[in-house]
């Protein structure tokens, strides 16, 4: 950054903000600088303000205060505006270019009114501070019964009992079942060998695992595709029936 902070730069006293909660953003900080030095907002001395602002940011960084990216963005903006001010004003069709500070001034003024409005809201009579909706306590809230006091040796006794119970349980291993599609297809076709229509759901043992049912369904669809069985259903969401197709 080609920006040199002048040596005898006057930085308005002092970090009151270290004691307070800090600034509410770059606009807030700018207002602080403007107010403290009685600067006319309609004619902001950009070189001075930009320098002071940057100095503030570096002080904040040195004190390890959190400097949000928004502050840095503003710093760049201020320097940009300052540079633009240094350029000779162009005369385009006899009309002087806009003041490069214009947008900033607009933003500052708007922010000022937001702060004022925030104060207005804060000063409104409000619940939990100035008035309260009345509420008679109905006095029938029942206190939950106190939990019984636990005695140390009871705890030990409990623990021993639990350990005993553990002994009655064998470790149970959950094995992964694998289902083979073509085996399932053979299986189902075999069950239909006598030519009698069978319900899909009767093919399974009670509480068959979900995966088994899914694979069986897939097997049925394959069998239908290869024209080995017929699938019929009487009504929407009713049972469906499988029947082997006679090849003979």
Binding site for other proteins (CB under 8 A): 21, 24-27, 68-70, 74, 107, 110-111, 113-122, 124-136, 138
Q: Could you give the CA distance from residue 232 to residue 198 in angstroms, rounded to a whole number? A: 10
Q: What's the CA gap between 89 and 85, in Å, rounded?
A: 8
Cβ neighbours of 153 (radius 10 Å): 7
Provide the minimum distance between the beta carbon of 31 and other proteins in the complex, in angstroms, as a whole number. 11
Q: How far apart are CA 245 and CA 230, in angstroms?
A: 6
Nearer to other proteins, 136 or 235 (CB): 136
Give whichever of 137 and 182 is closer to other proteins, judged by the CB atom. Answer: 137
Of the candidates 55, 81, 57, 79, which has an alpha carbon nearest to the alpha carbon of residue 70? Answer: 57
Residue 21 or residue 170: which is nearer to other proteins going by CB? 21
The Cβ of residue 78 has, within 10 Å, a number of other Cβ atoms equal to: 24
Q: Contact 218/181 with Cβ under 8 angstroms?
A: yes
Q: How far is the CB of 85 from other proteins (least distance, A)?
A: 21
Closer CB to other proteins, residue 22 or residue 100? 22
Residue 192 CB neighbour total at 10 angstroms:
19
218 token code pair: 């897939």
The CB-of-66 to other proteins minimum distance in angstroms stands at 11
Per DSSP, the three-state class of 10 is: coil
Q: How far is the CB of 133 from other proteins (least distance, A)?
A: 5
Residue 91's φ and ψ, nearest 5 degrees, are -105, 105
Residues pairing with 244 in the sheet: 229
Least Cβ distance, residue 171 to other proteins (angstroms): 47
d(CA 220, CA 185): 7
Is the Cβ of residue 127 or residue 168 nearer to other proteins in the bound state? 127
Closest CB to other proteins among 69 and 145? 69
Shortest separation between residue 215's beta carbon and other proteins, angstroms: 44
What is the closest distance, in whole angstroms, from the C-beta atom of residue 144 to other proteins in the complex?
23
Whole-number Å distance between alpha carbons of 66 and 33: 19
**Closer CB to other proteins, 133 or 167, in the complex:** 133
């Amino acid at each position: 950054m080609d920006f040199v902070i002048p040596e005898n730069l006057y930085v308005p006293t002092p970090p009151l903000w270290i004691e307070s909660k800090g600034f509410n953003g770059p606009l807030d900080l700018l207002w602080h600088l403007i107010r403290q030095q009685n600067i006319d907002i309609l004619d902001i001395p950009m070189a001075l303000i930009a320098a002071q602002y940057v100095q503030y940011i570096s002080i904040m960084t040195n004190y390890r205060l959190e400097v949000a990216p928004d502050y840095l963005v503003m710093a760049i903006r201020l320097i940009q505006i300052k540079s633009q001010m240094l350029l000779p004003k162009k005369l385009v069709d006899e009309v002087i270019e806009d003041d490069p500070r214009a947008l900033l001034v607009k933003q500052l003024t708007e922010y000022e009114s937001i702060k004022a409005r925030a104060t207005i809201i804060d000063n409104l009579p409000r619940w939990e501070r100035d008035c309260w909706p009345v509420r008679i306590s109905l006095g029938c809230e029942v206190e939950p019964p106190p939990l019984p006091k636990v005695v140390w040796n009871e705890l030990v006794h409990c623990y021993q009992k639990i350990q005993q119970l553990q002994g009655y349980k064998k470790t149970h291993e959950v094995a992964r079942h694998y289902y083979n599609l073509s085996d399932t297809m053979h299986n189902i076709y075999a069950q239909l060998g006598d030519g009698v229509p069978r319900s899909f759901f009767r093919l399974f043992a009670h509480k068959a695992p979900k995966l088994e049912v899914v694979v069986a369904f897939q097997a049925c669809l394959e069998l239908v595709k290869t024209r080995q069985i017929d699938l019929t259903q009487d009504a929407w969401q009713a049972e469906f029936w499988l029947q082997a197709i006679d090849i003979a």
